[in-house]
Structure 1
Amino acid sequence: MKKIISLLAMFMVIIGLVGCSMDEASSTKPDSKTKDNGKLKVGLSMNTLNNPFFVAVKEGAEAQAKEDKVELVITDAQNDPGKQISDVENLLQQNINVLVIDPTDSDAIVQAVKKANDADIPVFTIDRSSNGGEVITHIGFDALKSGNIAGT
């Protein structure tokens, strides 16, 4: 339960920080990527929604996005790296301002991260990291350390 709360808290911080920076950017740049309505648009690429933990992450993200008046677009890769790459490409076509990825595979997601980098979209990863491309920050935990703690 602590993992869920920590992850959701960090996701809220990400949305808040990126929202602040987008407000700053839109006031200084007329060609800013914010939509005509001025809303921050976040793409959230989930590895699966067939797991209660990831459903809780999705629900927490939706609640925070609603509170912060952020447009949130969520995809479900269904544990398929190829589908997740396609999902990310689709999100990039929707003019998102920020991309948050819960990778199905740390190696396979590199291509998608690099495409977002090429589009100047900041990328955050949650749970698993990416083994390449530029990720602004990763929110996760050390599973081995957690397992050792739980086993003692």
Structure 2
Amino acid sequence: MVRVDHQPKRTRLGIAIRALLICSLALLLSACEKQSRHKPQLCLILSNVSNPFFASIRDAARKESARHGYPIDTYDSENSLQKENTLIQQCISNKAGVILLNPTDSFHSDNAVKLASEAKIPVITLDRAIRSNLAVSHVSSDNIIGGQMAANLLERFLKGEGDIGMLVGIPDTDTAQQRGKGFIEQIKKGPLTLVGSEVGNFDRHQGKLAMQRLIKKHPQIKAVFAQNDEMALGALQALLDHPSPPIVIGFDGSKRALSAIERGLLTATIAQQPDEMGSTAVKLAAQLLEGDRIPPSVSSPLAQVIRTNKPN
């Protein structure tokens, strides 16, 4: 004899309801996964991630993209126009929704941006601008004002007299040109004399070599403005054995520079806000992808940082 136990109707009903709920949940999760999978990708290309300033932009951009739910790929062009061009093409092949670009060269990065524009992919530039109007927005500090701030600091520290020098970044970037322009224009208005400058390409080692050349040609200089903190730190290395080293101020506000200021090695820096720049660029990209209009440019604040004025 075979015994068959029939489940009560109430139990069968409960099983059916649970099954329906499970199916509904599975469909919802599938829909969410599909939506996430098809959310546009952001592509961030930076010129030199070994520079702490750009590493801070990258880290902030990653955090902000996670908050907005957009996947992001980050790349380092290593200050190579050829690699930058290859990375732009890779972002196009990956069907990026927006490309965030810190150009290697303000004058020659146009070609890479043109490729993205032809592929209907908007480009937002960071820190360095390009010469054309192909970028939909630009996020940066006001580098002309920053250069003026540096000049005012030197006049203050030198009490209005003395010869000074400058370490120049990558000459073909608008960043170097604008910082130099603001600095030189302000120096010409006062009693200080700019007697020489050397190119250090925004690099610490090259900044050290540039400082050695500058001090050899102009041993009388009392102060140096380095157009970024990495060159400023390189300059300090070059001056270690100098009997009466000139004061050095930098530009960026990197952690290494702030530490050097605390230890009394670096006199000052003009601090940018790389975290804010990275997060702002991602916010603009998110607004763009959601159909909102964005401003053609966004300015990030600057601050003078000396030993008694370290920002929180």
TM-score range, shorter chain: 0.7 to 0.9
TM-score by length of 1: 0.72
Percent sequence identity is: 25
The residue aligned with 1:70 is: 70
- Alpha-carbon distance between aligned partners in 2 of 1:122 and 1:36, rounded to the nearest angstrom: 21
Unmatched runs of 5 consecutive residues or more in structure 1: 1-34
One-letter code of the match for 2:66? K
- Partners of 1:117 and 1:133 within 8 A in 2: no
SS at match of 2:37: coil
Q: Which has the higher contact order (CA 8 A, sep 6+)?
A: 1
RMSD of the TM alignment (CA)? 1.6
Change (3 A) 1:97 1:104: same
**In the alignment, structure 1 residue 79 sits paired with structure 2 residue 79:** yes
- Alpha-carbon distance between aligned partners in 1 of 2:97 and 2:146, rounded to the nearest angstrom: 33
One-letter code of the match for 2:98? V
- Alpha-carbon distance between aligned partners in 1 of 2:68 and 2:40, rounded to the nearest angstrom: 9
Report runs of 4+ in structure 1 exceeding 3 Å deviation: none
More divergent stretch after superposition (40-49 vs 138-147): 138-147
SS at match of 2:125: strand
Shift of 1:148: 1.4
- Partners of 1:41 and 1:73 within 8 A in 2: yes
Shift of 1:41: 0.8
The residue aligned with 1:20 is: none
Kindly provide the CA deviation profile for residues 6-35 of structure 1, in whole angstroms up to 9, marking residues without a partner as x: xxxxxxxxxxxxxxxxxxxxxxxxxxxxx8
Change (3 A) 1:67 1:36: closer
SS at match of 2:95: coil
More divergent stretch after superposition (131-140 vs 66-75): 131-140
Unmatched runs of 5 consecutive residues or more in structure 2: 1-34, 153-312
Shift of 1:137: 0.7
Kindly provide the CA deviation profile for residues 54-109 of structure 1, in whole angstroms up to 9, marking residues without a partner as x: 00000000011111111101110011111111111111111101011000101221
- Alpha-carbon distance between aligned partners in 2 of 1:133 and 1:84, rounded to the nearest angstrom: 19
The residue aligned with 2:149 is: 149
TM-score by length of 2: 0.36
Kindly provide the CA deviation profile for residues 39-62 of structure 1, in whole angstroms up to 9, marking residues without a partner as x: 121111111101111000000000
Kindly provide the CA deviation profile for residues 102-150 of structure 1, in whole angstroms up to 9, marking residues without a partner as x: 0010122111111111111111101111112511011112323202113
- Alpha-carbon distance between aligned partners in 2 of 1:53 and 1:69, rounded to the nearest angstrom: 25
